[in-house]
Structure 1
């Protein structure tokens, strides 16, 4: 009986704690295919996009099957000013996982930066379907679209 209670406590803790997913994380990616991107995320958070690109490029060149690699590379390139190449990597991420919320958000932001609000709205529509109750990616893209639609 005590063993069962302990197991139930552990399972409850796991369900409550759950994994914290960043905007670039796909929960559908098999763990074996997921490289450790923690140090790269730290570089991105510090806005050291050059270092992040240098770390991500070999992973992309090796044919990674992790959409986060391509999403983070696209994000870093976009933030560095290379929008055209960023789009290529967002497309690769979505080819692996068409429902990758982080990529849909970041690609939508790229569309906004390029003045293509209809495409950004398509990405938002996909996020609305994926997150009917709301999610960070959807909210961020909604805010970016609202800001872009304001008269200047």
Structure 2
């Protein structure tokens, strides 16, 4: 989660939960908390940046149902309709396991949550950092 995420905002909480559940993630931490954890573990943070801020295209574009392209048709509203009905039919004739439609539902919710959270800039999958452990030598295994 970015620093724009407000843990007291109900909509932000809902979006975070959708992202976590749909992506099988534990509690997603803020970028600030990640950096704090690195420092607490003894790492020196050399560089950090949300690369989404400089990206020419939004990272969530392939998940956005309002964006159409042939390569991402299955993620559009029409594509989801086709996929949903195909999964429903396959589940009905027992070619897909029971519960497949429920999985489809929470994956769609996750995609929607990611898209909205991306547009609101409260979530980023593009936060990168470079850190080193002081006194760790030139790399490889090091034991203190």
TM-score by length of structure 2 reads 0.24
More strand by share: 2
Larger Rg: 2
Bigger RCO of structures 1 and 2 (CA < 8 A, at least 6 apart): 2
More helix by share: 1
TM-score by length of structure 1 reads 0.24
